[in-house]
């Protein structure tokens, strides 16, 4: 399942057809946030293979759905959200073989993927509005005391 849209879609569609994968690879296109949950519910992993992304909020959403993650090291959230080997892995989007290896690694061990998904869900709690508000409150209290 390849969600999203972009300038490479025609090439991806041609590749799918050339490899006769029409019955195995689906392209629902761009989805709004409220449309993602059914896709997350049926996924075993979330992959964000961007070449350039300021943050990549969809990674937060996938983690909140309890999915292990594979995230491009060019995505702004990579350093904050990916804990290598714990909740997923990062990869260089220019190294297709690296992403293939990580996809194989993720899909070959269902128990590890579930453990990583639980770790992703736990880690994303550190980025919730409540957690942010608590941190801001502590910072204000500290500043007022100083």
Residue 129 has a pLDDT of 85
Residue ranges in the chain whose pLDDT is less than 70? none
Name residues whose C-beta falls within 8 Å of residue 122's C-beta, 6 or more positions apart in sequence.
none
Give the per-residue pLDDT at 128: 85
Strand order in the sheet with 46-48: 46-48, 69-72, 88-91
Q: According to the model, what pLDDT value does residue 143 have?
A: 93
Does the structural domain 39-145 have CATH classification 3.40.50.2000? yes
pTM over 0.95: no
pLDDT at 135: 83
Q: What are the boundaries of each domain within the chain? A: 1-30, 39-145
3-state helix, strand, coil in the chain (%, to 5): 55, 10, 35
Residue 93: predicted pLDDT: 96
């Amino acid at each position: 399942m390849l969600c999203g849209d972009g300038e490479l879609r025609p090439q991806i569609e041609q590749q799918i057809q050339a490899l006769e994968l029409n019955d195995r690879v689906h392209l629902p296109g761009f989805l709004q946030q409220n449309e993602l949950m059914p896709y997350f519910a049926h996924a075993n992993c979330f992959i964000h293979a961007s070449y350039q992304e300021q943050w990549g909020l969809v990674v937060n959403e996938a983690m909140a759905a309890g999915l292990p993650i594979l995230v491009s090291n060019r995505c702004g959230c990579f350093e904050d959200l990916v804990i290598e080997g714990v909740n997923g892995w990062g990869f260089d989007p220019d190294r297709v073989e690296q992403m293939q290896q990580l996809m194989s690694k993720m899909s070959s061990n269902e128990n590890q993927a579930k453990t990583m998904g639980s770790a992703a869900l736990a880690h994303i709690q550190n980025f919730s509005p409540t957690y942010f508000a608590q941190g801001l409150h502590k910072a204000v209290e500290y500043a007022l005391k100083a």
